[in-house]
Amino acid sequence: MSSFAGKRLLILGGSQISCEIVNKAKEMGIYTFVTDWYPIEKSPAKQIADKALMISTTDIEAIVELIQREQIDGVITGFTDSVLPYYALICERAGLPCYGTYEQFNVLIDKSSYKPMCRKYGVPIVEDYDINEVINSSNDLNIKYPVLVKPSDASGGKGISVCYNQSELLEGYKKALQFSERKQVLVERYIRGEEVTVFYILQDGEIYLATIANRHIKQNQPDTIPLPVAYTFPSVHIQKYKANIEPNVKKMFQSLKMKNGMVFMQCLVEDGECLVYDIGYRLTGTLEYKLFDQMAEYNTLEMLIHFAITGKMSDYSIKEKIESQWKEYACNVSFLVKPGKIRTIKGVDKILSIPGVLDAVFAHKEGSEIPLNAKGTLKQILLRVFATSPSQEKLEEILNNIYEQLEVVSTDDEQMLLAGFDTTELRGKLT
């Protein structure tokens, strides 16, 4: 019997992706609670939890009372920046483990806070412009267009615009403000080209580079930013990153006194250098722990659940398992759909039967509706598929096979899938 049998875990937020936390916790023998303010029919994780509650994740006092009343052993949240500060305060007041602090989360969810820190420690970032000068200037002679305008404290692609002149920039600024809780907006130079995501795992103050993935984006619909269609592992940029940037990243994390948890950094690649444009101190919606589990025999979701209950990331040293340059190859494919209501999804069983495919995880199901305002955001992701392969050539073959299987039709009898990853882009991108 698991050592966690009978332990009680509170999960903050009941979205579809939080089902991952519920399922893993149950697998570990843990009794699960899920809370948010949504009714159970709109909170998928509540539907599979042992106990569902109607307390907002921002109601700290009520949740602390719940923890005491139900004798809960640990608290966790997963994939959303906005919940992290509340998670830290809840854990502090309830006397339960939290892998980060309120101060750390506040810095790392706000781009206007961590970008100056990156500059201080020599971590390359995307060039930005002073927003006050931009909106108050009568001309735009000092701005090199196009620029990316985005909220400083939002995630998931919300409120982002690519702007090609001052008029578009001002409209983009108004849009970004609507998605910023702190009413702060960033204007950055828009860089087209390669992207990578860097993954770190922290354990007892030690900082380990887990791996680097190529982040493949695609412009598959007009008037939106390109969205991710695949992640492939490991990236050809690992060695240069480790030599030139990683020491400075570690110094930056150490300055924040970060001890445990996981961090991802999204980067643009320009002239072979990784320029950071987003940081997350949490699990990611890309669910990369499924690949970590297969390729390196550790699972960051399981580790964070372990931490929530025990205050320790694991019973072993992650150093024994870390190998950033994997000996095999892996991918995480994102299927994007147009706005509309989903009537049928076909082909997932065939995808799961392909040799090398590990799992397929839905973000939406039949009957779900993707609203028009989700266009250009990560809410358009329908399904993620995870696969591994002993060779680059075989990985390309697996990906092509995956793409041939899926069909998604709307209630208006329209094909909903958007164009996916061009698998020839793999060539020259993997180590």
pLDDT, residue 140, reads 57
Reported as type and span, the H/E element at residue 24 is helix 19-27
Q: Is 373 left (phi over 0), alpha (psi -120 to 50) or beta?
A: alpha
Say what percent of the chain tops pLDDT 90. 79
pLDDT, residue 1, reads 38
Confidence of residue 385 (pLDDT cuts 50, 70, 90): very high
Does pLDDT of 313 surpass 80?
yes
Does pLDDT of 2 surpass 60?
no
pLDDT, residue 27, reads 96
Please give the Cα distance from 307 to 67 (Å, whole number). 17
Domain with CATH 3.30.470.20 in the chain: 195-426
Q: Which tens digit of pLDDT belongs to each residue from 317-376? A: 999 999 988 989 999 999 999 999 999 999 999 999 999 999 999 999 999 999 999 999
Architecture of domain 8-98: 3-Layer(aba) Sandwich (3.40)
- What DSSP state is assigned to residue 359? E
Class of domain 127-189: alpha beta
Domain with CATH 3.30.1490.20 in the chain: 127-189
> Which pTM value belongs to this model?
0.93
387's tokens: 């696969």
Report the chain's mean pLDDT, rounded to a whole number: 93
**Residue 348 burial class via C-beta count within 10 angstroms: exposed 0-12, middle 13-18, buried 19 and up:** middle
Confidence of residue 138 (pLDDT cuts 50, 70, 90): low
Q: Which tens digit of pLDDT belongs to each residue from 191-214? A: 888 999 999 999 999 999 999 999
Confidence of residue 430 (pLDDT cuts 50, 70, 90): confident
Candidates 290, 294, 301; CA nearest to 321 is: 294
Please give the Cα distance from 177 to 174 (Å, whole number). 5
Say what percent of the chain tops pLDDT 70. 97
Q: Do 294 and 330 contact (CB within 8 A), yes or no?
A: yes
Residue 146: cis peptide before it, omega within 30 degrees of 0: yes
pLDDT, residue 304, reads 98
Architecture of domain 195-426: 2-Layer Sandwich (3.30)
Does pLDDT of 188 surpass 80?
yes
pLDDT, residue 137, reads 62
Does pLDDT of 134 surpass 70?
no
- Pick the more confident residue, 131 or 400: 400
Does pLDDT of 257 surpass 80?
yes
- Pick the more confident residue, 134 or 230: 230
Domain with CATH 3.40.50.20 in the chain: 8-98
Does pLDDT of 170 surpass 70?
yes
